[in-house]
Amino acid sequence: MTGLIKPHGSDQLIPLMLEGAELEPAKKRATELKQVPLSSREFGDLIMLGIGGFTPLKGFMGKADWEGVCRDMKTTDGLFWPIPITLSTEQATADALNEGEEVALTFGGGIVGTLTLQEKYSIDKAFECEHVFTTTEEEHPGVKMVMEQGDINLAGPVQVFSQGDFPQRFAGIYKTPAETRAEFEKRGWNNVAAFQTRNPLHRSHEYLVKIAIEICDGVMIHSLLGNLKPGDIPADVRTKAISTLVDNYFVDNTVLQAGYPLDMRYAGPREALLHAVFRQNYGCSYLIVGRDHAGVGDYYGPFDAHDIFDKVPEGALLTKPLKIDWTFWCEACNSMASMKTCPHDAEHRLLLSGSKLRKLLSEGGDVPENFSRPEVLTILREHYEGLADEDRVEVKLSGASAK
């Protein structure tokens, strides 16, 4: 009997991916259907539906669920869910579709699944952005994504045909919830913490993971493999840097590096909750939540993602946050420390952040020796030195990162 946490809202994973004898006939039938193209974000969501990462959802949300999730973080049947999972299209495409019919979903020129259309509806995009992102400013990359999507949402259950190129591009890293659960059981892990990252791990990240290792059977460093905003470090570089760090600075069988197929939404506190929801499906009892989790710019306070977990109704979310205070290198302590463990003044503290590291590297500046491990810096410097001028993006610091 496994000791792992149950999936979200279900006793078992609910993957919607067709396999085996069902797949080829469904793919053949789909070639005769009307087609709806997906954005990169929507394709990532479709894959998560396919592999059971969004258990217990059966497809893209209808209007009542969209509104309930935006306003109250729950669907009409009471399921806790913090960010709407929706599919949008242009008005002309929607007008050609009839409720009740099956349509083919496409991405990158191929059919990746089908949707049985139950509902077509328009939304107030500003309402969604205000609730999910707490802003309607289009400088926010998540808001920009919503504002640029189609005007009509399509809702209904899906069948999924493809995981894209993630299994090939990130062989050994990309894993489904069934695969991580099997790996945890193989390792004898019951209490597992997830560490969410879209950055290579600097010393502060490393410290957070090691804190969790002290109180859990193991930690899954779970790297986002989908699209990021310009200037962020690509997934292939990031996963290579993480592998090097794990190989050199962690005890065997305490860390598993894995990846998942979503694009980043930069929704701060709401995205922290989504991270916890699907980490529950991946088998993790805890989510490490540090400073400015899933944030961008100055849109969220450094610990808004801590506070939002206190608003989750009891029993609605089984994966719990490991809330960890500011962490930094303290010259007086001569070690990594946090606000709870270091008694020294700010002048002794080197505050670490992914954006500050990206800025130093992108400008060819010196990186303090206590900021990141030398093996990691070697990989990151090679990446930045190989960038063409047109691919370089100015990294702007905000909040604590600017100090």
DSSP, collapsed to helix, strand or coil, labels residue 255 as strand
The DSSP annotation for 271-308 comes to: HHHHHHHHHHHHT-SEEEE-TTTT--TTSS-TTHHHHH
198 has catalytic annotation: yes
Q: Which of 199, 203, 279, 281 is catalytic?
A: 199
- Hunting for tokens 């059981």 — which residue is that? 185
Beta bridge partners of 74: 80
> Which amino acid belongs to residue 266?
Y
Q: If we measure between CA atoms, which residue out of 186, 193, 250, 196 comes closest to residue 218?
A: 193
Structure tokens at 384: 């930045």
Q: If we measure between CA atoms, which residue out of 84, 91, 65, 97 comes closest to residue 151?
A: 91
169 has catalytic annotation: no
CA gap 51, 155 in Å, rounded: 19
Judge residue 6's burial from the number of C-beta atoms within 10 Å of its C-beta, 0-12 exposed, 13-18 middle, 19 or more buried: middle
CA gap 35, 276 in Å, rounded: 33
Judge residue 340's burial from the number of C-beta atoms within 10 Å of its C-beta, 0-12 exposed, 13-18 middle, 19 or more buried: exposed
Beta bridge partners of 153: 88, 121
CA gap 367, 203 in Å, rounded: 12
Which residues are catalytically annotated? 198-199
